[in-house]
C-alpha cells in the first residue's frame, strides 16, 4: 500500500478494505469499487484500493455523530452517521466491521490529559 501524507503527530490506527453499500429492492448491494478506509488518530480517510495517492474523502471527528457495526444483509458492515445528516453505509471485507468501528470510536475519543502535571526536580 502507498503511504499517504499524514499530518505531524498523526498515526495510523487501522486500514480496512471497504465498499459503499446501497439498499436496492429490499437488499444490500455493494456499490462501486472496493476502497481503503484509513483510520488515524485525527481523521478517517477514504482512498482507492489501488496504489494511487488520491484521497476521495476526509472525515474529521467533528463531522461524525456516531458509528455502528451492523450486518448489511449477510455481510459485515458499518454505518457512519454524520452531523450533516448523511449516513455512510459500508461493507467491510473479512468480518472486520467490529475492528473498524472500534478504531473510529478510538479516533473520536479525546486523548486523556493528566490532571496533575508531574514536577521533575533537577539532581
Q: What is the pLDDT of residue 113?
A: 73
Q: What is the pLDDT of residue 112?
A: 75
Give residues with Cβ within 8 angstroms of 95, minimum separation 6: 76
Is position 43 within any domain?
yes
59-78 per-residue burial string, b: 16 or more CB within 10 A, e: under 16: beeeebeebebeebeebbbb
Is position 53 within any domain?
yes
Is position 6 within any domain?
no
Is position 16 within any domain?
yes
| Number of structural domains the chain divides into | 1
Q: What is the pLDDT of residue 17?
A: 95
Domain of residue 45 covers 12-108
Query: Does residue 120 register a pLDDT over 50?
Result: yes
Is position 56 within any domain?
yes
Predicted confidence band at 2 (pLDDT cuts at 50, 70, 90)? Answer: very low
Is position 4 within any domain?
no
Q: Which residue has the cell 472486520?
A: 96
CATH number of the domain within which 78 lies: 2.30.29.30
Query: Does residue 1 register a pLDDT over 50?
Result: no
Is position 68 within any domain?
yes
pLDDT tens string 40-84? 999 999 999 877 778 899 999 999 999 999 999 889 999 999 999
Is position 26 within any domain?
yes
Amino acid at each position: 500500500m502507498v503511504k499517504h501524507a499524514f499530518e505531524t503527530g498523526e498515526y495510523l490506527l487501522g486500514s480496512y478494505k471497504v465498499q459503499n453499500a446501497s439498499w436496492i429492492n429490499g437488499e444490500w448491494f455493494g456499490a462501486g469499487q472496493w476502497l481503503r478506509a484509513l483510520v488515524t488518530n485525527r481523521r478517517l480517510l477514504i482512498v482507492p484500493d489501488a496504489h494511487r495517492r488520491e484521497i476521495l474523502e476526509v472525515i474529521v471527528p467533528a463531522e461524525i455523530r456516531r458509528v455502528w457495526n451492523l450486518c448489511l444483509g449477510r455481510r459485515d458492515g458499518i454505518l457512519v452517521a454524520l452531523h450533516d445528516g448523511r449516513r455512510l453505509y459500508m461493507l467491510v471485507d473479512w468480518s472486520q466491521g467490529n475492528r473498524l468501528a472500534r478504531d473510529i470510536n478510538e479516533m473520536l475519543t479525546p486523548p486523556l490529559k493528566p490532571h496533575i502535571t508531574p514536577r521533575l526536580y533537577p539532581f
